[in-house]
Amino acid sequence: MKIDSRQIRAKFGDDYMADECTFVMGIDQRFTRHFAERFVGYNVLETCTGAGFTTLSLARTARHVFTVEIDETHQQQAIKNIEKAGLLTAVTFISGSILDPEIVKSLPAIDAVFIDPDWAVTGPDHVYRFQQSNTRPPADLVLENMLNITENVAIVLPPLIKTDEFKSLPEHECEKLILGKSHELYCLYCGDLKRVVGESEFYIDI
């Protein structure tokens, strides 16, 4: 797939940097702005940064965003994108794995966490599942770890996941995110981030 600046602008809102991988991974700005409304005034831990498209929205509403990314190329794109948006002072970039306990220990007090794991795992063995997740990092494991930091956690999940896999999770809101006729994502909100308990929908008309 070849992407151009017009496509990047349409999805992310400005002339930001993205390659084919980070363009596909990044979440549409209409959704990221919607997520960010729930993080107003919070010290937010975000994992995983990607090219920083969710970070941009979070940085506009949060008190501060601490964002962890394992891939140096993605992180460099994110730094450039946040700089272009004039938001560098609102974001601390952390290199490494969110599964590294030393990284988690080094963080200041966190009010809320936003998790966007990498679902782009392809190949004949790929199965969309939440429990014993095969994402990078594993969605179920990283959610469990983050719930040890704060109960205020949101996690983005793909539409192909079966929602009955969430039954064992703490009380949460399961929001279906729809763009036109396309079900694009789920987002689960726990703790104070939820607005209802159970299912909800966020719809964007196109």
Nearer to ligand SAM, 60 or 136 (CB): 136
Residue with smaller CB distance to ligand SAM, 47 or 197: 47
Shortest distance, position 17 Cβ to ligand SAM, whole Å:
11
For the bound state, the minimum distance from the C-beta of residue 45 to ligand SAM, rounded and expressed in Å, comes to 11
160 near 186, Cβ under 8 Å?
Answer: no
Nearer residue to ligand SAM within complex by CB, 67 or 150: 67
**Rounded to the nearest whole angstrom, what is the least distance from the CB of residue 150 to ligand SAM in the complex?**
18
Cβ at position 70, least distance to ligand SAM in Å: 4
Q: Is 54 or 61 the residue whose CB approaches ligand SAM more closely? A: 54
How near is the Cβ of 157 to ligand SAM at its closest, in Å? 11
Residues in contact with ligand SAM by the rule CB under 6 A = 22, 25-27, 47-48, 50-54, 68-71, 74, 97-99, 116-118, 136-137
Q: How does DSSP assign the chain, residue by residue?
A: ----HHHHHHHHSSS----HHHHHHSPPHHHHHHHHGGGTT-EEEEE--TTSHHHHHHHHHSSEEEEEES-HHHHHHHHHHHHHTT-GGGEEEEES-TT-HHHHHT----SEEEE--B----STT----STT--SBS-HHHHHHHHHTT-S-EEEEE-TTS-GGGGTTSSSEEEEEEEETTEEEEEEEEEGGG-SSSEEEEEEE--
Looking at the Cβ atoms of 69 and 111, the one nearer to ligand SAM is: 69
Q: Which residues are registered as beta bridge partners of 68?
A: 47, 94
